[in-house]
Amino acid sequence: MQKPIDLAAARAPLYEALERHAKRNGKPFHVPGHKQRAAWNDEGANARFASILPIDLTELLDTDDLHHPEGVIAEAKALAADCFGAEETCFLVGGSTAGNLAMILAVCRPGDLVLAQRNSHKSIIHGLMLAGARAVFLQPEPEEASGLAVTPSAQTIVRAMERHPEAKALLLTNPNYYGLSVDLSAIAALAHERGLPVLVDEAHGPHFGRHAAFPGGALQAGADIVVQSAHKMLSSLTMGAMLHMQGGLVDREAVREMLRMVQSSSPSYPIMASLDLARRELHVRRERMFELAVRTAECVRDKLADAPIRPVRPIEPVRLDPLKLTLYDTSGRLSGYRLRDELESRGCVPEMADDRFAVLALGAGTVPEDGEALVRALWDIAATFRLDRLPEAPDGEPARRAAAAAAEAFPYRELSEPVAFDRSRAATEKLPLDRAAGRTAGEWVIPYPPGIPLLYPGEPITPDVVSALRKLRQSGAKFQGAEDSALESIRVRLQE
């Protein structure tokens, strides 16, 4: 029998306060300037925003203050902590990026060293740069069936901790953008044995541990700080996220202080209210919140079991988020980018693509009709391009292909040398990409999405990295950070 619903959990105190304020219909002599009225002299725009403007408020006597919560925001945060199993939860209005920056700035002082997963989001690198910290990058493990990079192995992490006992924190990303994850319990225990806090970017896993079909979450595994994007897989507005804390290895007041620095002093009340409502939905409905989405995902997988285009199926111990469909053409004829374009032309809009995969995200709002449209689109693509399922590969061949793909995607050492980060801009020159091997990167090169840097300023450029970038360029990847978006050339630091 399910545990009874706590009456407090069924409340959304911040949202309710905003609704009460709006109903008072007072004369607003405070910001924002629209005065809770649609005032763009555009009938369509006015109608679109009219229902949200009355709760687009500021810090007032009855709406509390995100940066010094004592009323309804404090209540909403406490309910979120209870819902997610944290000792303390903070609301984020700048997405998981704000949480990643804050947790790094709170833990690191200039010159401090951290152990960081190499396939981290760019916000992790930005946090290290702002902190003036140093990092030893850990090579992620390839998932055996797909070659997609997941967290570093426990053996890699132990070797890093033994080689660098001065490290201040372990930074991990789990799950990855493709929906693959590992159980972090053993890794967290190993780090805690050495007094090392574990900080996890769990942006894509706010729903983990909330349904029997989902992998477990980082908080349940013992992580000290966990950052989650509630807007990605739950039901908050875009940029709505949360930072959860537990244990005694991190200074929570330092985290709160950093959040006051990196977040706006005028936070969005609609975003915060949507976090409150998303938490309430999860708190009250529990597994039922995801039933339609899970059933839809199961149906899609069943109908694609023998299709030429199918979802990735990882091999244990790597777990799959059932709400992520990472699709690929088994014949190898359609790249992930082409598959994305074909799906979009048929009315199904993927989350992202790379040269091999198109990634589709289901969520709390997914309905069976979405899955039916997707299946029709994929079979139509297969028919249009006369795709045939490849014959079964010889034993061991899928693993060899996956390992080759992983080596190509992440051509780095198991443990990097310590890398120093700062915010200064070094003098650079432009070189053709094919002549850049052996030089030091002078700019970011970030395939986006997913936003995982393949090069950051100050990183040595190896021939393998050049080869990986060349292949991405040829496949039609989009890049952030690079001055030449076509990546025919790249900026490198001037040689002394």
| pLDDT > 90: percent of the chain | 76
The pLDDT, as a whole number, for residue 355 is: 87
Least confident of 24-38, 280-294, 449-463: 449-463
Cα distances from 350 to residues 291, 311, 338, in angstroms, run: 21, 13, 12
Which of these, 24, 91, 41, 74, lies nearest to 270 by C-alpha position?
Answer: 91
CA–CA separation, 236 and 278 (whole Å)? 5
Least confident of 124-128, 381-385, 480-484: 480-484
Question: Taking residues 186-190, what's their average pLDDT?
Answer: 98
> Which homologous superfamily is 289-384 in?
Aspartate Aminotransferase, domain 1 (3.90.1150.10)
Boundaries of every domain in the chain: 289-384, 426-493
Q: Give every CB contact of residue 220 below 8 A, 6+ residues apart in sequence.
A: 85, 209
pLDDT, tens digit, for every residue of 449-468?
A: 676 788 888 888 989 889 88
Mapped onto helix, strand or coil, the DSSP state of residue 113 is strand
Q: 374 in the Ramachandran plot: left (φ > 0), alpha (ψ -120 to 50) or beta? A: alpha
- pLDDT of 164 > 70? The answer is yes
Query: Which ranges constitute the DSSP H helices of 196-316?
Result: 218-221, 230-233, 252-262, 269-285, 291-303
Q: What amino acid occupies position 453?
A: P
DSSP 365-376: T--HHHHHHHHH
Which pair of tokens denotes residue 447?
A: 């395939």
Query: Taking the model in full, what pTM does it have?
Result: 0.91
Cα distances from 69 to residues 60, 62, 66, 91, in angstroms, run: 12, 11, 5, 11
Is 90:243 a contact under the CB 8 Å cutoff? yes
Q: What amino acid occupies position 313?
A: R
pLDDT, tens digit, for every residue of 355-371?
A: 899 999 999 999 999 99
DSSP code, position 415: B
The pLDDT, as a whole number, for residue 287 is: 95
- Looking at every residue in the chain, the average pLDDT score rounds to 91
Q: Give every CB contact of residue 380 below 8 A, 6+ residues apart in sequence.
A: 346
The pLDDT, as a whole number, for residue 403 is: 53
Cα distances from 450 to residues 184, 253, 442, 459, in angstroms, run: 22, 31, 21, 20
Please name the residue that has the structure tokens 């409502």. 277
The pLDDT, as a whole number, for residue 13 is: 98
Please name the residue that has the structure tokens 């152990």. 115
Q: Give the architecture (CATH level 2) of 426-493.
A: Alpha-Beta Complex (3.90)
CA–CA separation, 240 and 233 (whole Å)? 11
